[in-house]
Amino acid sequence: MPIWKIELIPEARADFKELDGSVKKQVLKQLIKLERNPNCGSALGNKAGINLEGYFKLYAVRKQIRIVYHRKGQLIKIIAIDKREDMEVYRIALKRISAIKC
């Protein structure tokens, strides 16, 4: 079974570092799961004016935390890790995507 490479953009790495210890462990478990199966997340689309077509989300911590990512070849690029509250994580992801053009 192939293993994909996980890469956190610098902002997503900062998101991860800011998480509490127990939350960090659960997010890490999801990242390991994603590394083995990049299809375990759900596709994002264009909702509420936030166009994330081609990107995916993965839940952690009983769906309280979202991991937004993009797949390209064997690379999975993590864009944002945060709470869903008022879709803020998706707005943050869109802003980061626009800045890095990934």
- pLDDT (tens digit per residue) in 7-66: 999 999 999 999 998 999 999 999 999 999 988 999 999 988 899 999 999 999 988 999
Helix residue ranges, H only, 2-73 = 10-18, 21-36
- Helix or strand (DSSP H, E) at 88: helix 88-100
Average pLDDT over residues 84-101: 90
**Cα separation, 37 vs 46, whole angstroms:** 24
CA 3/CA 91 separation, integer angstroms:
29
Cα–Cα distances in angstroms (integers) from residue 29 to residues 56, 58, 90, 97, in the given order: 17, 11, 21, 24
- Tell me the pTM: 0.92
Encoded amino acid at 41, one letter: G
In the prediction, which pLDDT does 100 show?
Answer: 82
**Residues whose CB falls within 8 Å of the CB of residue 14, separated by 6 or more in sequence, listed in order:** none
Cβ neighbors of 75 (< 8 A, separation 6 or more) are 4, 5, 7
AA identity, residue 24:
K
- What is the per-residue pLDDT for 8? 97
The CATH architecture one would assign to domain 5-100 is: 2-Layer Sandwich (3.30)
Domain ranges within the chain, ordered by starting residue? 5-100
